[in-house]
Amino acid sequence: MIHTMRNVQLLLILLIFNVSVSAQHKREWSSLFNGRNLSGWNHLNGELLPQVQRGELIFPASTKSSTGKLLTNNEFSNFILELELMVVENANGVISFQTQPDANQGYKLIINNAANNWNGSVYCEAGRGWLYTGELNPMAATAYKPGQWNHLRIERIGNNIRTWINNVPVAHVIDDNHVAGFIALQVDNDDATEQNSGEVRFKNIRIKTANLKPTETPDIYVVNLIPNTLSKSEVEQGWKLLFDGKTSDGWVNVYNNSSFPEEGWVIQHGMIAAVPDRPDARVRGACIVTTEKFRAFELQFEFNYAEGANSGVKYGLGNGGVTIGLEYQILDDKRHPDANGGTLGNRRLSSLYDLIPAERLGELTNGPNEWNYGKVILFPDNRVEHWLNGVKVLEYVRGSSIYNVLVAHSKYNEFKGFGPMEASPILLQYHQDEVKFRSIKIREL
C-alpha cells in the first residue's frame, strides 16, 4: 500500500512538472496575429487592405490595385518566427524581417507555386540580392507543398539566419548585420495577364524573442558573409581558410615557390589585392599560388574587380608551364575588350577561359567595385562546375571527348595533356589590374 502511494505521488509530481514546463514554453511565444483583426500591424503603400477571415490573414493579388504590405508595430533583432502560409494560384507570398518602412535594410523570403523556384531562400533588401539561392541546397527543393498549408520557420540568432519549410532545413546564412527591424508580410502578383492571380493566406503567426537557442543544421551548405572566418558548421563540413585575412601565409610567387612577391600584391583591410600598374611605371608583379596542392576539391572565394579589370583563378596547373591551367575568368565584361574575344563568350566572367562560356550572367553579376562570390567544384570523377553568386553557370568533364575537342580548338592546343593534373596548387592571376580577394576557402572531396 505504501509503495502504491509513493508511485501515485511520483506520478503527480511528474504531471505537475510537465504542465509547468509546457506553460512556460507557451509563455515564451507571442502571437503576432490574433485571428480577428489587424491589431499589432500597420498597413503601408497599397490601396487594398488585407482581409481577415476564419482566423486567416488573406492578401489578394490583383493587377488593378496593390495590396501593399503589413508591418508589425514592434521591431525585432534576435528571434524565432513561425507561421503557416498557403499560396493560391500564381501569387508570391513575401515574408520580410529586419526590414524598414522604406525597405533599405533587412532580408526576405519569397514563397510561390512556380516550378523550380527558390522557396525559403534568403534575399537581401539592401541591394546585395540573393544571399542564399535554392541551388545551394537542392535537397530542400520538394519541401514546399503547392496549394497546401506550409509551416515556415525563420531563426535570426546572433550572426545566423536559418530557414525551414515543413521542418526541412532550407538556408543557412551567416551575416553580421544586427540592425533591428520589422516583420513584414505582403503579396506580389506573379501573372500580369490575369485580372486576379490568386491570394496568399497566413495564419498561426508567432514569435519568440527570449531564451533563444539556435537549431543546428550541420548538413546543409553555409553561406558565411563575415570575411575570412569559418563557422562551426563549416569546420565540421571540412572547410579551411586559404587566406587568413592578415598575412601571405600559404601563398608564394609562382616562379620561385619560396617567397611572396615583393611587388604586385598588398594585404590590407582583410583583402589580398593585386596592385595595378602606375601611370609612370609598370608594376613587376607575379601570379601567386598556394603552397599546398589539391586533387578533388570545392573552392570558394569572394572577388571584387575595378573597372576594366582582368584576372582569374586557376587550377589544374602544370602541363605547359607553371601558370598554364584551367581558369575561372574574372573580367569586367562591359569594359574589357577580351569579353568579345574567344568563341561564343568563352572569355567572359566566370567562364572556363577560352573553352566554355558561362550562362545566366546578366541576372547574377555584381558590377565593378562590388563583391561577387565565386566557386569551383572539381569532383573526384573529373566533373567540374563553376558557380557565380550562388548559381551554377557551367559544368564539364575534364578529359572527356567534348573537353578534348574544345582544347584542340583553343589557345591551349599546343599543350599536351592540358588540364587533367592529378594534383595542383590554386593560382591567383596577376594581370596588371586591380582585383581584390577575400574569404578564400577550400574543402577536399
Mean pLDDT of 86-103: 87
Q: Which residues contact 414 (CB under 8 A, 6 or more apart)?
A: 320
Q: Span 334-354, mean pLDDT? A: 95
In 10 A of CB 128, how many CB atoms? 16
Q: Given this model, what pLDDT does residue 435 score? A: 97
pLDDT at residue 9, as a whole number: 59
For residue 47, pLDDT beyond 90: no
H runs (alpha helix) in 101-242: 232-236
Q: pLDDT tens digits for 197-240?
A: 689 999 999 999 999 999 988 889 999 999 999 999 999 999 99
Spell out the domains of the chain, with CATH numbers in brackets.
Answer: 29-208 (2.60.120.560), 228-444 (2.60.120.560)
Per-residue model confidence as pLDDT tens digits over 289-320: 999 999 999 999 999 999 999 999 999 998 88
Q: Tell me the pLDDT tens digit for each residue of 188-206.
A: 765 544 545 689 999 999 9
b/e per residue, 318-351, with b = 16+ CB within 10 A?
bbeeebbbbbbbbbbbeebeebeebeebbbbbbb
pTM: 0.89
Q: List the beta strands (DSSP E) in 40-196.
A: 41-44, 51-53, 56-61, 69-76, 79-89, 92-99, 107-112, 122-124, 129-132, 150-157, 160-165, 168-174, 181-188
Q: pLDDT tens across 133-148, in order?
A: 999 999 999 999 999 9
The C-alpha cell 596547373 sits at 317
Which is higher by pLDDT, 285 or 21?
A: 285
Asked if residue 313 lies in contact with residue 374, where contact means CB atoms within 8 angstroms, the answer is yes
pLDDT at 248 over 70: yes
Mean pLDDT, rounded, of the chain: 89
pLDDT in tens, 422-434: 899 999 999 999 9
Nearest-5° Cα angle at 206, 201 to 209:
145
For residue 179, is pLDDT > 50? yes
The three-state secondary structure class of 361 is helix
Model confidence band, residue 8 (pLDDT cutoffs 50, 70, 90): low
Q: What is the pLDDT of residue 22?
A: 46
Q: Which residue has the higher pLDDT, 61 or 171?
A: 171
pLDDT at 364: 79
Task: Report pLDDT digits (tens) over 22-38.
Answer: 444 557 899 999 999 99
Name which residue leads in pLDDT, 15 or 333.
333
